Structure 1
């Protein structure tokens, strides 16, 4: 097999991107500097981005940022609840965090949760019956729910579809999970996990802020998806009103 094929394929894609940039330049009458800027953006982008709409790109970046926010929350929860990562069987919090990230992104089950994922895992992780690393289980459950709500993917292209209702539902579920995190207690009246804190010594609402960022990104994506599908319907209705034939290629 010719091992140089992937190399030439990448070069072919780059030539295609450069050609697209040149066409944009001549079609819009850009200045020379603007043309160079557009060409630079094309060459600096990943070849796969050529197969993404603006909404696809937004969904991909939103998923990346939401998972990153989730990992920040995991680190903060381990700091406030150090006893949890010790129950995970890993030598330190960093090792536990790495395992959770890989399980979410590779769609692997978490041993402490058995085959539970998504909402079932989320309910179980915040129940008094759960025994084990509750931080890891809680973060994994939310992460798996986010991926499921986006159709089981973390990157999106023209051929993919995302159900805006599922994305909106995920946002509402995170709001509920945030509230439960601050309220659920064990039989002795002690919080299952320490997160936000408001006391005479000071306040720490950083957990609520980070969760709020995730919810805001999900709600924005929901609106973008709704608008895209609404425009598809409007364009179809306009074509009927104006008696225009619809393109077939």
Structure 2
């Protein structure tokens, strides 16, 4: 009987130990293990204590948007090598790395310094523009998205975003993608080679990246409206149902 009781007592302890071990194993997975086919997260940091769940959601969405833009830039540079050569970089890898930094900062190519968001996009989609069109196009979208989020890429409890601005950024990405596919140079060639559908190859990876950008922006715009609405509803529910706080 004692042995049976001891075994029964040990079972919850073993279960708890297994749960803790599983959690530790999950935490020990390298951050690099995450990829396009699985979700990724960030290590715990002190700044996250100044963020609500919603702040974290918007921060992660912004991180993924900037990563999508980085992938778009790399794809455009590889399909249009003449563009990265205009940057003066010694090789495509250096050009891509410089471009990623410019995306994070929402900074246009040097010849477009002083312009921002839709101004950069307008120049990038002008057939007469002779600069790095791929860099201008992608950094123009980055500047548009960042400015729609009040110039921020990480968000905290004191930040207040405008849902309409984020919604407008999503529409601007749609318009930019459509113009990129439809506008032509004076000789009839596309502004930039992007999606490809031919007998020899099919490449719709650009369209997928644009779709993901638009989807994330629309989701955040809807959540911003819902978040403000829920604050009011929760307050009214508290008054309606007289939700007193426990005292013991």
Please, what TM-score do these two structures have when normalized by structure 1?
0.77
Tell whether the 8 Å contact from 2:70 to 2:103 is kept in structure 1 after alignment. Answer: no
* DSSP 3-state at the match of 2:137: helix
Tell whether the 8 Å contact from 1:171 to 1:219 is kept in structure 2 after alignment. Answer: yes
Tell whether the 8 Å contact from 1:117 to 1:141 is kept in structure 2 after alignment. Answer: yes
Give the deviation of 1:67 after TM superposition.
Answer: 0.6
* DSSP 3-state at the match of 2:160: coil
Give the deviation of 1:220 after TM superposition.
Answer: 1.5
1:47 aligns with 2:46: yes
Q: How many residues in Structure 1 have an aligned counterpart in Structure 2?
A: 212
The equivalent of 1:127 in structure 2 is 126
Give the deviation of 1:239 after TM superposition.
Answer: 5.1
Matches within 5 A, 1:73-88: 73-88=72-87
Give the deviation of 1:146 after TM superposition.
Answer: 1.0
The equivalent of 2:146 in structure 1 is 147
Superposed CA offset, 1:92-140 (max 9, x none): 2222222222223235453131311100110110101211110011011
Tell me the distance in 1 between the aligned counterparts of 2:84 and 2:235: 54
Q: CA RMSD in A?
A: 2.3
State the 4+ residue runs in structure 1 displaced beyond 4 angstroms. Answer: 31-38, 239-245
Matches within 5 A, 1:1-249: 37=23, 45-238=44-237
Larger Rg: 2
* DSSP 3-state at the match of 1:127: coil
Tell whether the 8 Å contact from 1:112 to 1:137 is kept in structure 2 after alignment. Answer: no
Give the deviation of 1:241 after TM superposition.
Answer: 5.1
Tell me the distance in 1 between the aligned counterparts of 2:172 and 2:117: 10
Which stretch of the first structure deviates more once superposed, 114-123 or 86-95?
86-95
Unaligned runs of 5+ in 1: 1-30
Give the deviation of 1:163 after TM superposition.
Answer: 1.2
Give the deviation of 1:166 after TM superposition.
Answer: 1.0
Tell me the distance in 1 between the aligned counterparts of 2:206 and 2:73: 10
Tell whether the 8 Å contact from 1:197 to 1:205 is kept in structure 2 after alignment. Answer: yes
Give the deviation of 1:83 after TM superposition.
Answer: 0.8
Unaligned runs of 5+ in 2: 1-14, 28-42
Tell me the distance in 2 between the aligned counterparts of 1:80 and 1:107: 23
Tell me the distance in 2 between the aligned counterparts of 1:107 and 1:184: 24
The equivalent of 1:12 in structure 2 is none
